Amino acid sequence: MITLCTKKTSVLFFIIAFICVSASAQEDLRMLINPAVNIKVKNDTPWSYKFGVANREVIYRNNQFDPAVRFLEFSHFTSREVGLYGKLSAGVRYRFIEMFPEGFHNELRFIEEYTHSKKVGVYKISHRFRLAQRFKSITVYRGRYRVAVEFPLNGLRTDNRELSMEINTETVWEMANNFRPTLGQRFTTAFDYNFSEAVKVNFGLEYRYRNYTGRFPYTQLFFLSGLSITL
């Protein structure tokens, strides 16, 4: 059968092009890759659990390709469904940074979040409110809000071996003692591909405009990839 997703695909390519052009227009651009693997444990109760491992590498900075590993990260989230569309989660992340040549301090991070997801037609709209405490050489507090839209690229739902697309934007407010608070904005577009009910992969681009209210704003372009396994 012919796949009819031209309109949505055009939107996708427009967004990707916009992110690439915006990113390349910045002088202080850093490009990074961020592969991640998550294992989710679900059951018939309102509780679910997620265990993840990820790593981040910078591949481009100072106007040249200069690869270096940033960190290796392990994470865990415990979530509970609340109401008909909500989910409360608490999580912990540990980043091994010191073991890499350019690393300074390992980081421990606690995360609390509330997510509200509802479908409107074929579009799933999610709002996420997140608080985080980052313990590294200084303690940094973050407040974040993300709105995301996800939709199938073929038909009315995403069946196995079909693609869906996600677009989101997130505001990040960061505070620490003796530092001015900073604001950042993130724009992400990603493809999700369902191999089966249990195995999914995603690929995407994320453009981060960081500290844009401060004197030294900078931008980052992330090449995202992820594997998610549900047990």
Which spans of this chain sit near another protein (rule: CB under 8 A)? 1-5, 34, 36-40, 44-46, 50, 52, 54, 75, 77, 81, 83-85, 87, 117, 119, 124, 126, 148, 154-160, 162, 166, 188, 190, 195-200, 202, 206, 222, 224, 226, 228-231
What is the smallest separation between the CB atom of 177 and another protein, expressed in angstroms? Answer: 27
Nearer to another protein, 74 or 179 (CB): 74
Nearer to another protein, 26 or 154 (CB): 154
Q: Which residue has the tokens 């009910």?
A: 197
Nearer to another protein, 27 or 90 (CB): 90
Long-range contacts of 211-219 (CB under 8 A, 24+ apart): 211/182, 211/183, 211/184, 212/183, 212/184, 212/185, 213/181, 213/182, 213/183, 214/180, 214/182, 217/28, 218/26, 218/28, 218/29, 218/30, 219/22, 219/23, 219/26, 219/28, 219/29, 219/30
What is the smallest separation between the CB atom of 145 and another protein, expressed in angstroms? Answer: 14
Nearer to another protein, 79 or 211 (CB): 79
What is the smallest separation between the CB atom of 78 and another protein, expressed in angstroms? Answer: 13
What is the smallest separation between the CB atom of 199 and another protein, expressed in angstroms? Answer: 6
Contacts of 215 (CB under 8 A, 6+ apart): none
- For the chain, count helices (H), then strands (E): 1, 11
What is the smallest separation between the CB atom of 105 and another protein, expressed in angstroms? Answer: 21
Nearer to another protein, 164 or 182 (CB): 164
Task: Read off the tokens for 140.
Answer: 């940094």
